[in-house]
């Protein structure tokens, strides 16, 4: 705790010393950029022993929030500095000060971070992959038939006959299983694209795919993970049900529904299942020794259900009335 306190004090001291936006941006990249020191610590959470992981992740997240807040504060001070107002001839210093308005992390980003935090505690590693994907990784390796309707241009954005905008983050699972031997525990967050648009569907949306491949993994493990995750996300004990379904890359497969007390109806929220033996065969994993479970979470759908948002476009049109609710 003493080291954390010293680290925060040191960073805040450097922020306060900044005299212009350029100096401040240099510090932001140094600590919060893709290769920044705080970002590197977050990426190494999965390497921390399980017993110490919760304490470590909580500590680094607190540091990150404090640093982000002070960056915003300092940026506003520099942009609206008192010195600049002195240069204005018509300044009236008897007027009341202008109230500062600060931005906040988008609710989608907040939700992704929360979901990632839950699965990191289960020992999952966060993996990212390309948004422009090949037909093999997006369809063939996932046991999706050549005539499956999801391959049609009415559902998928194709560049040519071989490459497309990925329709699911499951493609990254194949890449991981090709390069890494079990045991495997990963989650894959990212943007996915489907040719669909309505109040509840967007051509681009966010998904988190999960994959666990180990010895003796069963559907019971999958059910426990999904129930625990949903109770954690909604901060209450949810009434859920598993309904038989079909996905080419899992068998058995299930859709998970959650009961909405307001509408008195069941709502479909995510799909899951046991990894199909053909998928394991495609990546040279022996399905007689190893089994796996997988799940796909639509981020926007969960947020809409949790906060009673009816139009998915609300996340992308920058309506401050919505965004200010999640500061």
Domain tally, the chain: 2
| Same domain (yes/no): 172, 78 | no
Residue 221: predicted pLDDT: 95
Residue 22: predicted pLDDT: 85
Residue 55: predicted pLDDT: 84
| Same domain (yes/no): 242, 115 | yes
Domain ranges, residue 41: 2-86
Quick one: which H or E segment has residue 192?
Answer: strand 184-193
Residue 219 burial by CB count (10 A; 0-12/13-18/19+): exposed, middle or buried? middle
Q: Residue 72's CB: how many other CB atoms inside 10 A?
A: 14
Nearest-CA neighbor of 173 among 218, 142, 151? 142
Domain boundary among 57, 86, 115: 86
Q: Residue 119's CB: how many other CB atoms inside 10 A?
A: 22
DSSP secondary structure, 214-283, as one string: ETT--HHHHHHHHHHHHHHHHTS---EEEEEEEETTEEEEEEEEEEETTTTEEEEEEEEEEEPHHHHHHT
**β-pairing verdict for 184-193 and 204-214:** antiparallel
Instruction: Compute the average pLDDT of residues 62-88.
Output: 76
| Same domain (yes/no): 17, 119 | no
Name every residue whose Cβ is closer than 8 Å to that of residue 264 and which is 6 or more positions away in sequence. Answer: none
| Same domain (yes/no): 303, 221 | yes
| Same domain (yes/no): 73, 124 | no
Nearest-CA neighbor of 152 among 190, 192, 206, 194? 194
Instruction: Compute the average pLDDT of residues 260-282.
Output: 89
| Same domain (yes/no): 239, 311 | yes
Identify the band that residue 207 occupies on the pLDDT scale cut at 50, 70 and 90.
very high
> Does residue 221 lie in a domain region?
yes
| Same domain (yes/no): 17, 121 | no
Q: Is the pLDDT of residue 318 over 80?
A: no
Q: What percent of the chain has pLDDT over 90?
A: 44
Residue 318's CATH number: 3.30.930.10
CB 170 within 8 A of CB 249: yes
pLDDT tens digits, 119-162: 999 999 999 999 999 999 999 999 898 888 888 888 899 999 89
> Does residue 24 lie in a domain region?
yes
Residue 307: predicted pLDDT: 86
| Same domain (yes/no): 158, 281 | yes
Q: What is the pTM of this model?
A: 0.66
Q: Sign (positive/negative) of CA torsion 58, 64, 65, 66?
A: positive
> Does residue 193 lie in a domain region?
yes
> Does residue 243 lie in a domain region?
yes
| Same domain (yes/no): 228, 121 | yes
Reading phi first (left if > 0) and then psi (alpha if -120 to 50, else beta), residue 310 is in alpha
Q: What percent of the chain has pLDDT over 70?
A: 91
- Residue whose token pair is 């299942």: 273
């Amino acid at each position: 705790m003493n080291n954390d306190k010293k680290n925060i004090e040191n960073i805040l001291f450097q922020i306060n010393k900044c005299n212009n936006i350029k100096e401040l941006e240099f510090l932001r990249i140094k600590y919060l950029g893709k290769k920044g020191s705080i970002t590197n610590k977050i990426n190494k959470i999965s390497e921390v022993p399980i017993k110490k992981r919760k304490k470590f992740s909580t500590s680094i997240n607190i540091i990150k929030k404090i640093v982000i807040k002070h960056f915003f504060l300092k940026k506003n001070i520099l942009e609206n500095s008192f010195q600049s107002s002195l240069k204005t001839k018509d300044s009236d210093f008897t007027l009341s000060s202008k109230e500062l308005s600060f931005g906040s992390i988008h609710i989608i980003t907040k939700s992704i971070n929360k979901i990632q935090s839950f699965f990191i505690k289960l020992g999952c590693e966060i993996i990212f992959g390309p948004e422009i994907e090949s037909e093999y990784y997006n369809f063939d390796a996932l046991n999706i038939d050549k005539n499956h309707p999801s391959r049609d241009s009415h559902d998928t954005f194709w560049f040519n006959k071989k490459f497309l905008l990925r329709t699911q983050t499951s493609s990254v699972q194949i890449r991981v299983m090709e390069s890494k031997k079990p045991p495997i525990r990963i989650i894959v967050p990212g943007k996915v694209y489907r040719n669909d648009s309505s109040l509840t569907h967007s051509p681009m949306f966010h998904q988190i795919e999960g994959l666990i491949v180990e010895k003796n993994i069963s559907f019971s493990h999958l059910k426990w993970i999904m129930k625990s995750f949903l109770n954690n996300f909604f901060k209450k004990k949810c009434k859920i049900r598993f309904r038989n379904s079909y996905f080419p890359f899992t068998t058995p497969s299930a859709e998970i529904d959650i009961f909405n007390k307001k509408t008195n109806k069941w709502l479909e929220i995510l799909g899951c299942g046991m990894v199909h033996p053909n998928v394991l065969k495609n990546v040279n994993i022996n399905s007689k020794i190893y089994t796996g479970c997988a799940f796909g979470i639509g981020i926007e759908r969960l947020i809409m259900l949790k906060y009673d948002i009816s139009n998915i476009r609300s996340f992308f049109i920058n309506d401050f009335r919505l965004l200010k609710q999640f500061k």
